[in-house]
Structure 1
Amino acid sequence: MHETDTRHTILKNGLLIDPSNGIEAVKDIVIEGDQVIEVCDKAGAEKGDRLIDCAGLEIWPGLIDIHLHVSDLFEIHTNTAYGAAEDGVTTALSPGAGNTFMAPALLGAEMDRGLPLNVGVFLGAANVLGTRLNEEELTALFSGTLGQEDRERKLSHNNIVNRTAQYAVGIKEHMGHFLLPDEKIQKLYAITDQANLMFTSHTQDIGHTLHLFEMAKGRHLHLGHANAAGCGTDEEAARAMKQVIDLCRQKEVSGEFVTTMLREGGGCREGLKMAEPARQMALEALAEHVVTILVSDGQNQSTMKGFGDTRDNIPCLLELAENKVLSKKDAVALMTSNPAKLLAQRTKNEEWRSRYGHLGIGAYANITVVEPNRRHAVYVLTNGRLVSFEKRYLRSGGRAGYWVSKFQTKKSMGIGELPMYDIK
């Protein structure tokens, strides 16, 4: 039976763990199109429905990875998206240092042509400041109010770039790759604050991070891969980790930890490894809910490896519950409801809270079905479409993904199908 013939998809008999809705019980989930239409104890089925037996499995909201390098401009392939989907990620935000205003157009075109997950981008900070647009005009651009004439004169001569440049989630400051002068960082704070974008740091050198916090002056700062500070590359590991955690206690600061670095061993040998005292401090910060978001940062099979791997996401969440660092619901929330709530708060887009990160009625049917003993995703559904089974990507799920940003979800960016030349 072809997927287009299916009336409903029904996930049956799985242990639903939905932190946002406070559910940890065996439930059936009914999907129509791209959204959840019913959650109940026993769903009835009709001819044409597709049933997925989830007995013995756990049904989680689809993982939201807000720091995952997906097809960055310097990446040589697009396999990251497919590997991430196999690992249970259904929504990924790519924070590449090389992400220019072209990134929404280029990655958006890939999404149009067929990706198995929802994608969005953080733009690289230096690239945002590299056009003729001034601070006020950049704020207008990201607010969706900058006129077409100004875009053509000061942003780009490429009409596709001008149409899509505003569709970012935030701006990433990459001190690991370049150092911006203070006056430029102040401009970035002003733009992100006024245009409701996230401002994310490259948190590794604690001295630089403390300086960023001082410059924030009460504006929001999100500490990217914050447990990298506990690797001791720029400061004694435990001391740096304590300072990062103290920053995360501030109301205007949020932070994220990398899953690979939280697991026993502290990281991967081709990336960074946390010192054990610093890792224990990071686990305590999770237990105290000082840090409430986990990310992968990358995949080891990619050119841009980052500090972690999506293959560690599900095992890490399970281990946090097994080791009683957190309850199962609180562990799952780290990559589902918590990032969705943060994105809603910072972008002022309530769709993040209403349709992502949970499996209530009306939510997009982004679902990760986990085999807890084998520690991997058995089924992954993105917007109601089955994209992976037993860690094997399904080609039929290739057009499942949508574009996400500070604005409403876009099911098509209108780029992937454009002809190269228009014969008149």
Structure 2
Amino acid sequence: MHCPPPAAGGRLLLQGGLVVDPKNGVEEPRDLALLGGVVHSCQPHIPTEPGDTVIDCRGLYVFPGLIDMHLHLGDLFEVSTDPFAHAAADGVTVAFSPGAGNTLLAPSLLGAEFDRGLPISAGVYAGAPALLATSLDDEELVSYFTGTLAREVALQKLSRNPIGVATGMQIIGIKDHMGHFILSDESAERIFSVTSRAGLLFMTHTQDPEHACRMAALSKGRPLYLGHASAAGCGTFGDGAADMKQVLDLLAQPNIDGELLASMMRQNRGCREGLRIDSRAQQLCYQALADGRVQVLASDGQGDATMKGFGDSRDNIPALFELCDLGVLPLSKAVALMTKNPAHILSARTGNPWFEQQLGHLGCGAAANVTVADRHTGRAIYTIVNGQLAAFESRPLRSGWGAGRLVCRFGSLPRTGVGDCSMGTVLP
């Protein structure tokens, strides 16, 4: 199978694959044409034209590019592995990195790497202490994160670093992590106040059901996102099934969203290098997926990474197919767990329709993010990010470095300018 780069000015044409696009109600063999970084057409048959690059997808499944809501990417001192390349190889096209230690400099550091070239699009959460440690009051923080705070005020009360001030609002949300710190009720109230008004996600580390219930009570109806909620079912703090039921009951509340880990939804119940879910708790999760209480799967990272989390992105695609094979969900609804549904949650919680318009589907004009998978092997065969081939046969491609963009609550940024800065450079 040959995958040459698309000819200049031509389309990238994927022919004959079984397209599964939950948002647009498509589940049938179709051709897909990509041009200029967006979906150009998705039809039963698209005639080839001079300059087209054609990829034979017969026997393969063509999904909207997978969105991984919880994937550690270079957190802290991650220097020995390449999680961005691994994620691309596993079919991920957009990911959000929830490092609890991330400061408000994280967007500039990540943005610099995007300017130099990364193979997937990604956004970052800031750790809650980063917000609480500034001299800005809550009203000023809301103004800062919505882009309306005067620069002079930010330089006096947030940071003396002009690059950090210029980019710090380019986050997707704030992360609470009981394994790193325990927020006081007063601090949690500040985080809820700012995130709910500024259109930021508030993710909490969900493992101990007591902590999850406390954060849910403190939310007072404001949005809360339960990260790796299935970790509660691993029995770390009590009986796995009872703890899992307690957390899943929280997810019935309309203001609370959450995710289950793909690795824990597979038949082996998780990674031995991470956590494995109790079999009774897994059945409760299957029921929560079937009845729609949980609408997102995520990976939490790669097993060979230092910040490995509890799962592995290699399990994302196999988990989607296995949920279908086990009769938990039809394939379209399984695929929606990592395409349509996270895009919807991102739009709903940020107030930005860009996420639903551009991500999680293959309609005309959507970002050209595509995951082509083999059901028999559970592998990603092609990963296409913003119209560029980023991986082939579960291997990253050099041509894909530069395909990714920084994603924040405002949308995506093709370039941040930070990667071009030399010593003494000041961003406007």
> Do Structure 1 and Structure 2 share a fold, with TM-score over 0.5?
yes
Displacement after TM superposition at 1:76 (Å): 2.1
Equivalent residue, structure 1, for 2:215: 212
Within the alignment, does 1:249 sit opposite 2:252 as a pair? yes
Deviation digits for residues 84-107 of structure 1, max 9, x if unmatched?
000000000000011110110001
Instruction: State the match for 2:183 in structure 1.
Output: 180
Measured against aligned partners, the alpha-carbon deviations of 1:302-334 in whole angstroms (never above 9, x if no partner) come to 110100000000000000011110000000000
Residue 153 in structure 1 maps to residue 124 in structure 2: no
Please name the residue that 2:59 is paired with.
56
How far residue 266 of structure 1 moved from its aligned partner, in angstroms, is 1.7
Match of 1:135 among 129, 133, 138: 138
CA separation in 2, counterparts of 1:46 and 1:37? 14
- What are the Cα deviations for residues 163-212 of structure 1, in whole angstroms up to 9, with x where unaligned? 10001111111012211111000000000011011111101110111111
Aligned to 2:391: 388
The match for 1:334 is: 337
> Given the alignment of the two structures, is residue 368 of structure 1 paired with residue 371 of structure 2, yes or no?
yes
Instruction: Give the corresponding residue for 1:121.
Output: 124
C-alpha displacement at 1:2, in angstroms? 5.3
Q: Take 1:46 and 1:222, find their aligned partners in 2: how far apart are those partners?
A: 46
Q: Does residue 312 of structure 2 align to residue 309 of structure 1?
A: yes
- Match of residue 90 from structure 2: 87
Q: Structure 2 counterpart of 1:311, which letter?
A: R
Question: Does residue 65 of the first structure (1) align with residue 68 of the second (2)?
Answer: yes
Distance of aligned partners of 1:153 and 1:257 in 2 relative to their CA distance in 1, 3 Å threshold = same
RMSD over aligned Cα atoms: 1.2
Aligned partner of 2:269 in structure 1 is 266
User: Is the contact made by 1:9 and 1:30 (CA closer than 8 Å) also made in structure 2?
Assistant: yes
- Residues 404-423 of structure 1: pairs in structure 2 closer than 5 A: 404-420=407-423
Structure 1 stretches lacking a partner, 5+ long? none
How far apart, CA to CA, are the structure 2 residues paired with 1:145 and 1:327?
45
Is contact 1:206–1:235 with CA below 8 Å preserved after alignment? Answer: no
What amino acid maps onto 2:351 in structure 1? K
Preserved contact between residue 71 and residue 107 of structure 1 (Cα < 8 Å): no
Q: The residue matched to 1:128 in structure 2 has which SS? A: helix
Give the Cα–Cα distance (whole angstroms) in 2 for the partners of residues 368 and 156 of structure 1.
40
CA distance in 2, matches of 1:3, 1:73: 36
1:399 to 395, 398, 402: 402
Kindly report which structure 2 residues correspond to 1:279-358, keeping only aligned pairs within 5 A, or say none. 279-358=282-361
What secondary structure, in the 3-state scheme, does the structure 2 residue paired with 1:64 have?
Answer: strand
Secondary structure of the corresponding residue to residue 93 of structure 2: strand
Offset of 1:4 from its aligned partner?
Answer: 5.6
Cα distance in 2 for partners of 1:420, 1:56 equals 52
- Distance 1:78-1:133 versus aligned 2 partners, 3 A rule: farther
- The letter for the 1-side match of 2:30 is K
| CA drift at 1:382 | 0.1
Per the alignment, residue 99 of structure 1 pairs with 102
Deviations 1:329-385 (A, max 9, x none): 000000000000000000011010011000000000000000111110101100000
Does the Cα contact within 8 Å between 1:12 and 1:53 map onto a contact in 2? yes
> Aligned letter for 1:348?
G
Q: CA offsets, 1:243-265, max 9 Å, x none? A: 11111111111110001111123
Q: Specify the code of the residue in structure 2 equivalent to 1:261.
A: M
In the alignment of these two chains, the number of paired residues is: 422
SS class of match (1:168)? coil
Matched, 1:167 2:174: no
Question: What TM-score comes out, normalization by structure 1 length?
Answer: 0.97
Select the residue among 209, 228, 242 that pairs with 1:239: 242
Helix, strand or coil for the counterpart of 1:45? coil
3-state DSSP of counterpart to 1:42? coil
* Alpha-carbon separation, structure 1, partners of 2:73 and 2:7: 28
In 1, the alpha carbon distance for the partners of 2:330 and 2:80 equals 38
Letter in 2 for 1:274: I
Return the alpha-carbon distance in structure 2 between the equivalents of residues 162 and 238 of structure 1: 45
* Aligned-residue offset at 1:405: 1.1
Amino acid at match of 2:212: T
State which of 219, 223, 229 in structure 1 corresponds to 2:232.
229
Shift of 1:74: 3.0
Deviations 1:64-96 (A, max 9, x none): 001000111332256101000000000000000
Maintained 8 Å contact 2:301/2:312: yes
Instruction: State the distance in 2 between where 1:373 and 1:270 align.
Output: 25
Q: CA deviation at 1:419?
A: 2.4
User: Would you say 1:111 and 2:114 are equivalent positions?
Assistant: yes
- Helix, strand or coil for the counterpart of 2:418? coil
1:52 is paired with a residue whose SS is strand
Indicate the residue corresponding to 1:45 in structure 2.
48
1:230 Cα deviation after fit = 0.5
Q: Is the 8 A contact 1:248 1:255 kept in 2?
A: yes
C-alpha contact 2:110 2:406 (8 A) present in aligned 1: no
Report if aligned partners of 2:207, 2:232 keep a CA contact under 8 Å in 1.
yes
